[in-house]
């Protein structure tokens, strides 16, 4: 089973690589990206920033990343912007409701506490209902 899995996985990865590297797919993705970047300029700014960061990272390994003070300031600014974006994403994230098993889906709770079936009759009854007796009114006025 392990050998079968490995061979099928290898074939699948090759097929995936072939699909992703096809010229037709790349041109289609470029058109879609251009459309989205026209509508949402922040997407373009984010992509350019990521490309800039990969260029800075690819320039040296374990050496100084920035060649000048301006590059250093740009890197620090982009890192802080990335951190702020990530923090905002965490704040906007919503925890999805938990998945329920068959029994939990079947059990339902229906709360009919305070349910008013006929609103007009309820209002008529409430209007003529005196909630305070004369003794309670006198105590209220006294205190």
| Average pLDDT estimate for 51-63 | 61
The mean pLDDT of 106-118, rounded to a whole number, is 88
What confidence score (pLDDT) does residue 63 get? 46
Those residues whose C-beta lies under 8 Å from the C-beta of residue 44, and which sit 6 or more positions away, are: 37
Which has more pLDDT, 68 or 28? 28
pLDDT at 130 over 80: no
More confident residue, 97 or 59: 97
pLDDT tier, 58 (very low <50, low <70, confident <90, very high otherwise): low
Per-residue model confidence (pLDDT) at position 59: 53
């Amino acid at each position: 089973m392990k050998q079968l899995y490995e061979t099928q996985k290898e074939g699948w990865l090759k097929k995936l690589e072939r699909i992703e590297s096809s010229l037709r797919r790349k041109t289609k993705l470029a058109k879609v990206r251009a459309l989205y970047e026209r509508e949402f300029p922040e997407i373009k700014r984010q992509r350019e920033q990521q490309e800039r960061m990969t260029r800075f990272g690819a320039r040296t390994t374990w050496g100084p990343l920035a060649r000048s003070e301006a590059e250093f300031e740009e890197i620090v600014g982009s890192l802080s912007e990335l951190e702020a974006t990530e923090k905002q994403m965490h704040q906007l994230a919503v925890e999805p409701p938990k998945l329920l098993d068959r029994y939990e889906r079947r059990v339902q709770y229906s709360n009919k506490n305070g349910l008013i079936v006929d609103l007009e009759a309820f209002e008529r009854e409430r209007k003529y209902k005196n909630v305070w007796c004369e003794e309670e009114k006198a105590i209220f006025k006294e205190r």
